[in-house]
Every structure is written in C-alpha cells, then in structure tokens.
Structure 1
Amino acid sequence: MLDDIWVDEAVFALRPDFAVLVMTAYDLRNGPTDDRSRAWLAEAAEQPVQTEKIDAWKDAYRAFGAKPQKTRPSVDALTRRLPLPEINQAVDAYNSISVKHALPIGGEDLDRYVGPARLLRAGGGEESEEALGQPEPGEVIWRDDLGVTCRRWNWRQGARTRLTEETTNAIFLLERLEPMSLEELKEAGEELADLLTELSPEVRITTRVVSDGK
C-alpha cells in the first residue's frame, strides 16, 4: 500500500516544494479521548501560531482558485479552534502534532480505502460524498478508486474513510510546504509515531516521503 501512493505531476507543477510523509499504522488500538490525549491537545494549544507556514498553505489554495478565507486549510482552521476539539485518541494525537508544527495532517481508516491514495487535480465528475460536494476542475484532491477522500488538498475529509474508535489500520498524510524543512517534516512524523506507539505498543508503523521527482 505504502509504495502505491502517489502525487500527480500537476500538483508538483503547482507547488514544487510540496512533500507528503505517508505513514501507515497497523494493529492500532484507538479509543475515546482520555486524559492522556486531552493533555496532548492542551499542550499543542499553548504553542504560538506559526503564521508563515499557514500563509504558505493559503497561497497554495489561491494557486488552484480556492479562497482560503472561505475554505481554510485544515491547519489554519484547527489553530483557530481553542480549546482544540476532542475526537478520539488517534485523531487527538495527529491534531496535536498538526498544531505543534503548523502542518496539515489527515488520518484515515486504511481498511475503508479501495485502491491506493493519490493526490491530483480534479478533472470534474469525480465521485464525491454529498457532504463534501463536487470538486471543481483543477481543484487539488485526495482520492482512491471509489472517489474523493479529501477536498481542496486538506480542507475537508470525507466520512467514508474517517478514523473511528473501531479503526485498527490507519493511514496518516503529513503535508509539507516551505518554509517547513524536510527535516522538520520527518521529526513531526517521528513524534506522531511515538504518540501512536504510546496508545498501542504493538502498532506496526512504516513511513515514506513523497516529493517532487520521487
């Protein structure tokens, strides 16, 4: 699964500095928010807002015609929500890392995917959930063989593949633009892996960075 995930050249043409750290986590034990994951969220909420990183994502949205003040990049929307929302332990884990590093992160149920995840620009007519709405031509989307899993790069994920308390196999997508370095991206991935391992000592984690030309 990890090796089959890809990013279309049209996305790199839009933002050559884009990279995504893809992480799979097998044998994950998720559960409702508890004191431990609540503390992760509280600590992340105390971090200063890293405006330059968020502004880079706003620029990326404008590049494909989206209005970031109307449909905000996920990390921008998340940093505006204080206290941070409590969803479940695994989501709390990646949301805390997202806010700490000003890094958009998506987490989804790997068993609900049909075919590999891929990031591309919409051609129009892609299958999409009613709640997500129909992507506009040229919009950057994540999708699998069944249809759209996340619209406008990282604005809104679909319900079909979302992480739930019953999820046992998950995929996490950590999306980087400059000024974040690739080194910090990898550090954020290691921090998320540590939190997931704290939740599930038996979890099996693998990672891969996909960047321009790789």
Structure 2
Amino acid sequence: MIVKLDDSIVKIEPSFKIGIIHYTKIVVTSSPQMLKGRLQLFQEQLFFELDDKAVTDFDGIKEWRALWKKFGADPNRYRPSMEAMYRRIAKQNYITPMHSAVDLNNFFSMQYEIPMGIYDVEKILGEITLTIGKEETKYSGLNGRDNKLHNILTLQDNLGPFGSPFVDSVRTAVSENTTNALQVVFLRPSISKEDGQQLINSMATMFTQIHGGDFDTTLIG
C-alpha cells in the first residue's frame, strides 16, 4: 500500500516518522489466554506504578503531548490514544479484551507509550496520506462519537479521513473477518530510524506469531 506524509508535518517536526506494517493472510480471533494474561498483568502493574507517577511523567506520553501542541491541538482536550488508556488504568478502569488484533495493538501502544492504529485494508480506498486535520475534518469514531480532528494528525484515503493517533473510525475497523490489515505505528520523533525499524519488525513478528500470515514493514520520515 502507498502511504505518504504531507509536507506540512515534516515542516513542523523534521524528526517526525511513522512505521507502516502491512499484514496479509492473517486470522483474527478472540485473544488467546496468553495475550489476555499479558494485557491484564501489564495494566495491573501500571496501576500500581501510577500511584507514584503522574501519567504525564511517562517519556512517550510527554513527547507526544509536546508534539500535539506543535500541530496546534490541545492535549488536555483531545488526548493521544495511549494517554487516554493510561488515564483509564489510573482509575482501575482496565481495557477489556476485544479480539486478538485490537488487543495486541493496545498492548504494544501501552508498552511503548505511543499511539497506534490497525485498519482493515479492504475498507481503505486508494492511496493513504497522513496529514493535519482541518476544521471540517471529522468521522464517526470507535469511541461512539462524531470526532472533530482539527489540528490532529489524520490518515485519509480517497473516501476521506479514517484514522488518527487520537481515535480511529468505525469505517476501517478491524474485525474477526479481517485477513488483510494495515498497522500504523506513530513513533516518537526522538527514536532513531534504525531503532524505529527494529521496533516495527519486532511488533510484526509477534503479531504474525499470533495471527499467522505475512508482513511487510516500511519506515516513513
């Protein structure tokens, strides 16, 4: 799949980069017990860590909040997705299992303190561009609301916006019928290209260990 970065992003943050993982022939199911256990254990450990540490003290969250402000969005009103999960866990409102693809995506996002999205390729039309949302940019999100994405990074195809590091859309959501998926890893700008490539390769390897299939990875930025 062709994924492009809008020039305006790199002008604002020259170190900006994303990882793209394209999976084919995967099988999405209810999460295996091993994944459910790891997800639960991670959240329980994080809950105790959040007793002594503020959500905004975590390096990845701190870096992404700063990036949010650079693009003109308010991180106190529209939070990066992993920060929203951390805040839920601080209230002991743990993320419940959904299915293997989303659960593993959430696990990676929380573990590495970065926003991530996973999308059904069959529901995407044409080339994908990551751009900065305009005043009219919006979609129906997985949070059950119509989400405005003004000044928020937004993935768009020929049909319009469908994903962001804030919340993803209903239109391109992965389900247990998905066999062809695109995972977008919103890397920290501070990570080197070499380490970023290593990270997405590691994620893709673990993903296919659970889901089967094949993958291709690309680092853009």
- In structure 1, the residue matched to 2:98 is 87
In the alignment, does 2:144 pair up with 1:133? no
Contact 2:22 / 2:181 at 8 angstroms: preserved in 1? yes
CA shift, 1:124, in A, is 4.3
- In structure 2, the residue matched to 1:146 is 159
CA distance in 1, matches of 2:191, 2:88: 22
Contact 1:56 / 1:177 at 8 angstroms: preserved in 2? yes
What amino acid maps onto 2:146 in structure 1? L
**Superposition RMSD in Å:** 2.2
Larger deviation: 11-20 or 49-58? 49-58
Between the two proteins, the alignment pairs up a number of residues equal to 205
Larger deviation: 9-18 or 172-181? 172-181
Trace 1:149-188 onto structure 2 (pairs within 5 A): 149-150=162-163, 153-188=164-199
TM-score normalised by L of structure 1: 0.85
Percent of paired sites with the same residue: 21
CA shift, 1:40, in A, is 2.9
Trace 1:11-50 onto structure 2 (pairs within 5 A): 11-45=9-43, 46=45
In the alignment, does 2:215 pair up with 1:205? yes
Distance 1:103 1:29, change over 3 A: same
Distance 1:94 1:183, change over 3 A: farther
Q: For structure 2, which runs of at least 5 residues remain unmatched after alignment?
A: 50-54
CA shift, 1:98, in A, is 1.3
CA distance in 1, matches of 2:219, 2:149: 26
CA shift, 1:7, in A, is 0.5
What amino acid maps onto 2:157 in structure 1? D
CA distance in 1, matches of 2:205, 2:71: 35
Distance 1:123 1:165, change over 3 A: same
TM-score normalised by L of structure 2: 0.83
CA distance in 1, matches of 2:105, 2:195: 15
